Every structure is written in structure tokens, then in C-alpha cells.
Amino acid sequence: MKKLGILGIVGGAVLLYLWLLIRALGIEVTVSPCPTPPRRDLMAELRPEGPHRVTAADQALVDALSAGRPDGDTPGGQPVTAQC
């Protein structure tokens, strides 16, 4: 089995968050792992597949991600804000 390392673990978390957030926008998405030699720099591809009915479970997960850590703290002790 291939060792993931910290970048693999972080990349996997990012893929999960992207998958969930795209579904929360009402778009079905397919995730395909990319272990092939020509694209070794890719962990996976995400492809939109059409409309997705947002479920209560989807929304609950998005709400949990948006709420931050259970202790109310944020990494580094600073609040995370969007910058446009």
C-alpha cells in the first residue's frame, strides 16, 4: 500500500470538503482517483455530473464545517474571514 504522508492526508480532506460543498450547491460530482503515471501530480479529478438534490444530511455537514471547531477556537487563534 502506498504511504500517503501529511500532504496526502490534507489533500484527502480537501477533496472531501470540495465534494461536499459542490453537492451543497446542487451539483452532483464524481471523484476519480488518478494514480496513473502520466498524471502523478494529481490526487483525483472532480467532475460535475448534473443536478443534485441537496439532502438534509448534506446541509448538516456543510453547517458543521461552517461552524468551525467545537471549542469555538480557530487554528492560530484568529477568526477566519473571507477576503474578496
**pLDDT score recorded for residue 84:** 42
Alpha-carbon distances, residue 66 vs 17, 26, 41, 80, 82 (angstroms): 11, 17, 29, 10, 12
Q: DSSP assignment, residue 57?
A: H
**pLDDT score recorded for residue 37:** 64
**pLDDT score recorded for residue 51:** 95
**pLDDT score recorded for residue 9:** 67
Which H or E element spans position 48? Answer: strand 44-51
CA distance 70 to 83: 24
**pLDDT score recorded for residue 65:** 80
**80 assigned to some structural domain:** no
**22 assigned to some structural domain:** yes
**pLDDT score recorded for residue 42:** 76
| All three cell numbers of 66 | 461552517
**Domain extent at residue 14:** 10-65
Residue ranges of the chain whose pLDDT lies below 70: 1-9, 35-40, 68-84
Please give the tally of structural domains in the chain.
1
CA distance 55 to 39: 34
